[in-house]
């Protein structure tokens, strides 16, 4: 076997000219911890495959493998207009989606930010807010809203994308298992999400009936299948991360599904929870600090190494570590940099994309947004290196879960399409290229048969498709 080069060396890394030996040795030490060799990736993949099997056979496993009860696969020929709601973690989106056949879709949408108060307050406040947003959307777009021909029920059908772990019992029923991504509304866990939403619609007199509940990964998978029937996997890299795929129903041993006419069901993996036991993931002290200080310690360990909510915070932990050793910013932090989650994941994107000779965009972020008194070019190069380590590791870990599903479904040889939604995937520089590179290291030429594409707004469109598939039954 050829020697395994470190993954950080394989990625394009700018030299840090003029750094001291102490700085270089500290950076190299951290880089080693963030490095993910193909051997380590293979070990993670093996464990991931085992965890998938466990989750399919029994309830309550670490990787829960949640049956979605979505069994239809869109043909692309479906037509009709439906509403969709997408509660992702950062934003609430309301869409009116018209399916026009042949894979064509028209969308109208409004977006609202979910405030920290709503994320932590009583759940009826959160759901009332959602109902108010739908009401506003309907009054501003009423002329576009049509009731399905031949359907006398005046209520509009709505698919709800709810991107938190839910124990689903039917296409329109599911109880929240546990909040993630910074949500904590104390009374919502163990309650039926559709019921809570429908009650809020009643309280606010909004003429909508919630006919389908889907996870955003399930939605993304459905919407991508509408355009590309060879789609096997739907993935989210946004505030959080997760994936869903088409599974053979007999392989979902933990359920008794009576409808013999159906062959496949979408399974929501909830992979953010993978390896919460910390058995194989290469956690650093920066990850452990983040986990300990989070509002869900010991949960969502995989997600905390990959997704948009956390990459900035891991980087901030590295920078503080270097500052405390007098190796960065001359030992000075700022009030802003000392604040939890002040180093946003968007900053990593800007810094990784900063190709100016003196790293001017990086300087702006550090000195103007985070109020570091002054930075040298060496400081800024070190910060860029820290961002590269965190971003590269996130992408390589992402390739591991994707690879595990392909192996589980025996699709490595023949290939598949993968639809991906979420701002991290859409905007983070090189994220997709780094995943592809890792897949090439793992699968060689077969990696070219894996078609990864952005499924923008997939989660919303998919909820409307699920509402449509449910209405057809």
Q: Which of 35, 192, 216, 287 is catalytic?
A: 216
CB of 303 to Mg ion, least distance (A): 14
CB of 43 to ligand ADP, least distance (A): 28
Judged by beta carbon distances under 5 to 8 A according to partner kind, the member of ligand ADP, Mg ion, none in contact with residue 165 is none
Give the H/E segment covering residue 401: helix 377-408
Q: What is the DSSP string of 194-215?
A: HHHHHHHHHHTT--EEEEEEE-
Q: With respect to Mg ion, which residue has the nearer C-beta, 7 or 220?
A: 220
Helices 308-324 and 21-34 meet at what angle, rounded to 10?
150
Q: Which of 238, 243, 272, 419 binds Mg ion (CB under 5 A)?
A: 238
The dihedral over CA atoms of 111, 117, 123, 124, expressed in degrees to the nearest 10, equals -80
Q: How far is CA 413 from the centre of its chain?
A: 26
Give strand pairing partners of 231: 417
Q: Which of 80, 174, 243, 422 binds ligand ADP (CB under 6 A)?
A: 422
The answer to the question of residue 308 lying near Mg ion (CB under 5 A) is no
CB of 220 to ligand ADP, least distance (A): 10
CB of 426 to ligand ADP, least distance (A): 7
Q: Which of 64, 159, 182, 308 binds ligand ADP (CB under 6 A)?
A: 308
Judged by beta carbon distances under 5 to 8 A according to partner kind, the member of Mg ion, ligand ADP, none in contact with residue 6 is none
**Structure tokens given for 65:** 């493998």
CB of 462 to Mg ion, least distance (A): 11
Between CA 400 and CA 271 the distance in angstroms is: 11
Query: Which residues does 445 contact at the CB level (< 8 Å), separation at least 6?
Result: none
For Mg ion, which residue has the nearest CB? Answer: 88
Give the H/E segment covering residue 347: helix 345-352
Q: With respect to ligand ADP, which residue has the nearer C-beta, 72 or 391?
A: 391
**Structure tokens given for 94:** 């309301």
Q: Which of 108, 228, 427, 440 binds ligand ADP (CB under 6 A)?
A: 427
Interacting residues with Mg ion between 440 and 469 (CB under 5 A): 459
Between CA 281 and CA 41 the distance in angstroms is: 9
Q: Which of 72, 88, 243, 460 binds Mg ion (CB under 5 A)?
A: 88
348: left (phi over 0), alpha (psi -120 to 50) or beta: alpha
Judged by beta carbon distances under 5 to 8 A according to partner kind, the member of ligand ADP, Mg ion, none in contact with residue 346 is ligand ADP
- β strands within 8-162, DSSP E: 66-67, 79-87, 91-101, 104-113, 156-162
Q: Which of 428, 441, 447, 460 binds ligand ADP (CB under 6 A)?
A: 428
**Structure tokens given for 231:** 């789609």
Between CA 161 and CA 407 the distance in angstroms is: 28
Interacting residues with ligand ADP between 326 and 345 (CB under 6 A): 344-345
Between CA 424 and CA 311 the distance in angstroms is: 10
Q: With respect to Mg ion, which residue has the nearer C-beta, 31 or 235?
A: 235
Q: With respect to ligand ADP, which residue has the nearer C-beta, 72 or 308?
A: 308
Q: Which of 35, 86, 157, 181 is catalytic?
A: 181
For ligand ADP, which residue has the nearest CB? Answer: 88
CB of 466 to Mg ion, least distance (A): 15
Q: Which of 6, 37, 42, 91 binds ligand ADP (CB under 6 A)?
A: 91
Q: Which of 309, 327, 387, 455 binds ligand ADP (CB under 6 A)?
A: 309
The answer to the question of residue 349 lying near ligand ADP (CB under 6 A) is yes
The answer to the question of residue 272 lying near ligand ADP (CB under 6 A) is no
Judged by beta carbon distances under 5 to 8 A according to partner kind, the member of Mg ion, ligand ADP, none in contact with residue 427 is ligand ADP
CB of 51 to Mg ion, least distance (A): 24
Q: How far is CA 54 from the centre of its chain?
A: 22
CB of 88 to Mg ion, least distance (A): 3
Main-chain phi, psi angles of 319, to 5 degrees? -60, -45
Q: Which stretch binds ligand ADP (CB under 6 A): 53-61, 146-154, 420-428, 450-458?
A: 420-428
Q: How far is CA 8 from the centre of its chain?
A: 24
Stretch 50-89: interaction string toward ligand ADP, x if CB under 6 A: --------------------------------------xx
Query: Which residues does 203 contact at the CB level (< 8 Å), separation at least 6?
Result: 128, 131
Between CA 244 and CA 463 the distance in angstroms is: 14
Between CA 20 and CA 378 the distance in angstroms is: 9
- Would you call 216 a catalytic residue per the annotation? yes
DSSP label of 122 = -
Between CA 83 and CA 93 the distance in angstroms is: 11
Q: Which residues are catalytic?
A: 181, 216
Residues making contact with Mg ion (CB under 5 A): 88, 216, 238, 459
Residues making contact with ligand ADP (CB under 6 A): 88-91, 238-239, 308-309, 344-346, 349, 422-424, 427-428
């Amino acid at each position: 076997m050829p020697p395994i080069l470190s993954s950080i060396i394989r990625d394009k890394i700018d030299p840090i000219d003029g750094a001291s030996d102490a700085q270089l040795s500290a950076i190299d030490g951290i880089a080693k911890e963030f490095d993910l060799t193909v051997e380590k990736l293979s070990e993670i993949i093996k464990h991931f495959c085992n965890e998938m099997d466990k989750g399919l056979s029994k309830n309550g496993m670490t990787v829960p493998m949640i049956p979605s009860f979505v069994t239809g696969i869109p043909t692309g020929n479906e037509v009709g207009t439906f509403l969709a709601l997408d509660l992702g973690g950062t934003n609430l989106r309301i869409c009116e989606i018209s399916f026009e056949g042949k894979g064509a879709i028209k969308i109208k949408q409004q977006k609202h930010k979910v405030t920290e108060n709503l994320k932590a307050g009583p759940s009826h406040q959160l759901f009332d807010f959602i109902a108010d947003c739908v009401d506003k959307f309907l009054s501003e777009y009423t002329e576009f809203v049509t009731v399905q021909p031949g359907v006398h029920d005046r209520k509009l059908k709505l698919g709800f994308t709810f991107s938190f772990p839910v124990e689903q019992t039917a296409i329109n029923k599911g109880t929240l298992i546990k909040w993630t991504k910074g949500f904590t509304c104390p009374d919502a866990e163990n309650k039926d999400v559709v019921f809570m939403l429908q009650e809020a619609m009643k309280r606010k007199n909004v003429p909508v009936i919630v006919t389908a509940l889907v996870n955003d990964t399930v939605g993304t998978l459905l919407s991508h299948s509408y355009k590309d029937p060879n789609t096997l996997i739907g993935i989210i890299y946004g505030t959080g991360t997760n994936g869903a795929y088409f599974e053979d129903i007999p392989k979902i041993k933990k359920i008794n599904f009576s409808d013999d006419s159906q062959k496949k069901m979408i399974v929501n993996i909830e992979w953010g929870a993978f390896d919460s036991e910390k058995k194989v993931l290469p956690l650093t002290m920066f990850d452990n600090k983040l986990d300990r200080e989070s509002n869900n310690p010991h949960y969502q360990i995989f997600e905390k190494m990959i997704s948009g909510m956390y990459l900035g915070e891991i980087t901030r932990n590295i920078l503080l570590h270097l500052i405390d050793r007098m190796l960065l910013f001359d030992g000075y932090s700022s009030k802003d940099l000392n604040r939890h989650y002040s180093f946003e994941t968007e900053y990593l994107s800007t810094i990784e994309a900063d190709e100016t000779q003196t790293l001017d965009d990086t300087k702006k972020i550090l000195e103007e947004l985070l109020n570091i008194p002054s930075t040298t070019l060496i400081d800024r190069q070190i910060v860029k290196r820290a961002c590269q380590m965190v971003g590269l590791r996130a992408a390589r870990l992402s390739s591991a879960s994707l690879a595990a599903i392909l192996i589980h479904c025996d699709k490595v040889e023949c290939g598949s399409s993968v639809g991906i939604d979420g701002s991290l995937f859409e905007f983070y520089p090189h994220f997709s290229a780094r995943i592809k590179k890792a897949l090439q290291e793992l699968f060689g030429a077969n990696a070219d048969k894996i078609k990864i594409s952005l499924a923008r707004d997939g989660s919303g469109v998919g909820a409307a498709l699920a509402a449509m598939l449910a209405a057809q039954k």
